[in-house]
Amino acid sequence: MGGDITFGEAFASVFEGLGDLLFRFIPAAITTIAKDYSAVVERPALIEPVPAPEFIEIVERGSAPEIYDTLFSFWVVFVPVSVFVSLLFLTLIIYCVIRIQHIRHFERVALYSKAKPVASLHVSRSHLRWRRIQEHVSSDNEHSWRLAILEADIMLNELLDVLGYRGETMADKMKQVVRGDFNTIDLAWEAHKVRNRVAHEGAEHLLSGREARRVISLYEQVFREFKFIE
C-alpha cells in the first residue's frame, strides 16, 4: 500500500519510544538528581541483575540518606506515571491491531470481489432487465425501440411500488409524489407520456432511434436516482 507504515514498524516505534523513556530519560533524570549533591559516596558496582529487595538494600548502603529519600520520592511518582503510560501504549496497540484487522478484512473482500467472475445469477433482476432494454434500444429495429420503452415503463411502475406509491394507474401513483422526495419526477412524467403514445398509437406514432435513446435516458436518470440500477 505504497508508503504506508506497516504494523511491524508501528509496533517497533511504540516500543522504541517506551524503551527510550525507561532506559534513557529515567536514568538520566536520576543521574542529574544525584549530581546535585556535593557528597560522593562510593557505591558497589552492579555487575549482575539483582532482585528488587536487594536493589533497595544496595541503594540504602551506597547512597547518602538525602539521595535515597529523593530517589524514593521520585519512585513514588514514577510508578503511577509509568503505569499510566504503559496502559496508554497498550490501548494504542490494541486499537492499531483492531484497525489493521478491519483494513485487511476489507482489502480481502475487495480483492475477492475483483477476482471472482460475475455470474448472471448474482446480478440483480433489475440490472438484467435494464441490460436487455439497452440491447433493444441499441439495435436498428424500430420494434425493438418500442419494446425497450415499454419494458422501461414497466420497471418505472415497479419502482413506484417499491417506493410505496399506490394507485390504479401509473399516473395515479406519480400524482402522489412530492417533488422534494423525487427529484426526477418530471423526467418520469415525460418518459411515461411517450410510452403512452407508443402503446396507444402503435405504428402511427413515428419513433426514431434517436428519440428512443433519449426516452430511455430519461428512465435511466430516474432509476439511478433511487439506485434501482447499477
pTM of the complete model: 0.47
| Integer CA distances (angstroms), 154 to 61, 113, 119, in order | 96, 31, 25
> What is the C-alpha separation between 6 and 89, in angstroms, rounded?
17
Q: Which of 35, 187, 7, 222 is nearest to 102 (CA)?
A: 7
pLDDT tens over the chain, length 230 residues: 445 555 556 556 666 666 666 556 665 665 665 555 444 444 555 555 556 566 556 555 555 555 556 666 666 676 777 778 888 888 888 888 888 888 887 777 666 544 444 344 444 678 889 999 999 999 999 999 999 999 999 999 999 998 999 999 999 999 999 988 899 999 999 999 999 999 988 878 889 999 999 999 999 999 999 888 87
